[in-house]
């Protein structure tokens, strides 16, 4: 069985990445294709779903060049979470997909949380509906674009939209863990949540386990994967989990992508505000959360100062730990886990006339690390365990400097894995398991993932402890100002581009 090939796809925020793997986890080929984020208003972010399909075609064509004429036996997809596409009876999108970064549903989310607390307090106690969750998004569409809501047959995640087209499914499929904001502790749709939006329940896909086969690729113009088994796939956190080899109690991961995704696996679950604790899969709970800006903060800063990211990283390396006591708050589009605050915004604090571009560059890297530490501390509470290290992947993990900063700030070793495209590897492992090509998912992940380098915490961690305490105080101190500014933003008319 060693000769089979599998394809793993990670449908991300700025690009779709694909990897061609053998069953030992060796990366035989990798490709990616980008697409723009559409921003019709500062607090809105959208994608054209057709761009995902075009990107997939381009990526699969590029991967075919590494396959030596062979066909892949299976294909799996993981995708960004809390991005929603509304499709009609033919599976065609009725409007641009609403991206996870989008904050248009903040007020509706508050309203629905109050209603849920009054009607179903037990369900309300499990988690708070964030503006990016499916229920507030659906209610926004029902109110603001009723004609589109009326024509909507299905509310899909990006990977559900893609698998529906790949397999030409009449009825779309999704996975239970990827639909975490809609399901109960058994992984079934929660009637209390569905009752918040009239007609939502009839517009949702059938739920499957993430490695369940849902069809085969029917597109003949994709020879690499024609006839390949396609599994339901999952959200990015779970794809990266298996692609990082995190399969045992007490293991953890850090994915340095557009946002930071952190996760801890454990046999226990201790309800903790701000953390998503999934129902048990194969005896383990994943406690996870995404921040709002990781690599996005670095990309924003590089764009603002007009420098390539490589130059920003090089400048940051010339400055010592703490950036001469300047702190960056990375909440450029609000914050997700663990704050779930759509009003807070970013900024630099502590700047003086002696601070330079290099100081600000390092402060950005450190600010992202502080937000990761905040989330990681809450994940440890939810999991009831203190992991010995974090498995690191994603584009940001390729910076030795950033890995070392995170090791010092989190006071944990950062173990960078060999295949940085952990979402692609995880999706490929799901596909291999679903197609029966491997004996077990956890065993296959353990065999496939290898650590490339470990960054140990150094002497700077004590100084970072002091700065982190200030970072945490800044949120509470500035919260009233952020609320006032959010009120002013709401008074500004929204003019949508044609």
Alpha-carbon distance 125 to 77, whole Å? 31
Q: What is the pLDDT confidence band of residue 173, given thresholds at 50, 70 and 90?
A: very high
Q: Find the mean pLDDT for residues 294-306.
A: 98
Contacts of 484-488 with CB under 8 Å at 24 or more apart are 485/343, 485/345, 486/342, 486/343
pLDDT, position 219: 87
pTM over 0.75: yes
Q: Find the mean pLDDT for residues 59-84.
A: 98
pLDDT, position 27: 98
What domains, with CATH codes, occur in the chain? 5-237 (3.30.420.40)
Alpha-carbon distance 493 to 103, whole Å? 15
pLDDT tens for 376-408 read 999 999 999 999 999 999 999 999 999 999 999
Q: How far is CA 304 from the centre of its chain?
A: 24
pLDDT tens for 142-167 read 999 999 999 999 999 999 999 999 99
Q: What is the pLDDT confidence band of residue 493, given thresholds at 50, 70 and 90?
A: low
pLDDT tens for 330-375 read 999 999 999 999 999 999 999 999 999 999 999 999 999 999 999 9
pLDDT, averaged across the chain: 96
Q: What is the pLDDT confidence band of residue 496, given thresholds at 50, 70 and 90?
A: very low
pLDDT tens for 94-139 read 999 999 999 999 999 999 999 999 999 999 988 789 999 999 999 9
Burial of 493 (0-12, 13-18, 19+ CB in 10 A): exposed
Q: Please check the confidence at residue 2 and state whether its pLDDT lies above 60.
A: no
Map the chain to HEC letters. Answer: CCCCEEEEEEECCCEEEEEEEECCCCEEEEEEEECCCECCCCCCCEECHHHHHHHHHHHHHHHHCCCCCCCCCEEEEEECCCCEEEECCCCCECCCEECCCCCCCHHHHHHHHHHHHHHCHHHHCCCCCCCCCHHHHHHHHHHHCHHHHHHCCEEECHHHHHHHHHHCCCCCEEECHHHCCCECCCCCECHHHHCCCCCCHHHCCEEECCCCEEEECCCCCCCCCCCCEEECCEEHHHHHHHHCCCCCCCCEEEEECCCEEEEEEECCCCCCCCCEECCCECCEEEEEEECCCCHHHHHHHHHHHCCCHHHHHHHHCCCCCCCCCCEEECCECEECCCCCECCCCCEEECCCCCCCHHHHHHHHHHHHHHHHHHHHHHHHHHHCCCCCCEEEECHHHHCHHHHHHHHHHHCCCEEEECCCCHHHHHHHHHHHHHCCCCCCHHHHHHHHCCEEEEECCCCCHHHHHHHHHHHHHHHHHHHHHHHHHHHHHHHCCCCCCC
Q: What is the pLDDT confidence band of residue 490, given thresholds at 50, 70 and 90?
A: confident
Q: How many percent of the chain have pLDDT more than 70?
A: 98
Q: How far is CA 480 from the centre of its chain?
A: 29
Q: Please check the confidence at residue 312 and state whether its pLDDT lies above 70.
A: yes
pLDDT tens for 207-229 read 999 999 999 999 889 999 999 99
pLDDT tens for 425-444 read 999 999 999 999 999 999 99
């Amino acid at each position: 069985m060693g000769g089979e090939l599998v394809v793993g796809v990670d449908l991300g925020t700025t690009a779709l990445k694909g990897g061609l793997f053998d069953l030992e986890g060796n990366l035989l080929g990798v490709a990616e294709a980008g697409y723009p984020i559409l921003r019709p208003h500062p607090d809105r972010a959208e994608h054209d779903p057709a761009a995902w399909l075009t990107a997939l075609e381009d990526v699969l064509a590029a991967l075919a060049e590494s396959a030596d004429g062979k066909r892949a036996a299976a294909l799996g997809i993981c995708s960004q979470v809390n991005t929603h596409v509304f499709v009609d009876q033919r599976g065609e999108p009725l409007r641009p997909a609403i991206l996870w970064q989008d904050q248009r549903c903040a007020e509706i989310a508050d309203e629905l949380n109050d209603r849920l607390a009054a009607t179903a307090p037990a369900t309300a106690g499990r988690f708070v509906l964030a503006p990016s969750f499916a229920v507030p998004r659906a209610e926004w569409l029902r109110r603001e674009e009723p004609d589109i809501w009326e024509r909507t047959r299905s509310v899909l995640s990006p990977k559900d939209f893609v698998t529906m087209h790949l397999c030409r499914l009449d009825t779309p499929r999704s996975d239970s863990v990827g639909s975490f904001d809609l399901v109960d502790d058994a992984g079934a749709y929660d009637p209390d949540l569905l009752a918040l939006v009239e007609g939502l329940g009839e517009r949702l896909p059938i739920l499957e386990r993430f490695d369940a086969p849902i069809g085969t690729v029917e597109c003949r113009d994709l020879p690499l994967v024609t006839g390949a088994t396609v599994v339901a796939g999952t959200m990015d956190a779970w794809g990266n989990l298996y692609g990082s080899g995190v399969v045992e109690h007490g293991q953890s991961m850090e994915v340095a992508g557009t946002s930071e995704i952190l996760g801890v696996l454990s046999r226990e679950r201790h309800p903790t505000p701000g953390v998503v604790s999934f129902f048990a899969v194969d005896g383990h709970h994943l406690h996870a959360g995404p921040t709002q800006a990781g690599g996005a903060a670095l990309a924003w800063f590089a764009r603002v100062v007009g420098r390539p990211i490589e130059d920003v990283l090089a400048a940051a390396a010339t400055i010592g730990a703490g950036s001469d006591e300047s702190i960056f708050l990375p909440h450029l589009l609000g914050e997700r886990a663990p704050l779930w605050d759509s009003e807070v915004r970013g900024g630099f604090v502590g700047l003086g006339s002696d601070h330079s571009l290099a100081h600000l560059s390092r402060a950005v890297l450190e600010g992202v690390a502080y937000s990761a530490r905040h989330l990681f501390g809450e994940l440890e509470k939810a999991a009831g365990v203190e992991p010995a290290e974090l498995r690191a992947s994603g584009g940001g993990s390729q910076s030795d400097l950033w890995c070392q900063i995170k090791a010092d700030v989190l006071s944990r070793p950062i173990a960078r894995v060999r295949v940085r495209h952990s979402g692609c590897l995880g999706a490929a492992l799901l596909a291999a398991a679903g197609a029966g090509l491997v004996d077990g998912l956890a065993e296959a992940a353990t065999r496939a993932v290898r650590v490339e380098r470990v960054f140990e915490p150094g002497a700077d961690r004590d100084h970072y402890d002091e700065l982190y305490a200030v970072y945490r105080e800044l949120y509470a101190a500035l919260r009233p100002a952020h609320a006032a500014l959010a009120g002013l933003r709401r008074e500004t008319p929204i003019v949508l581009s044609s």
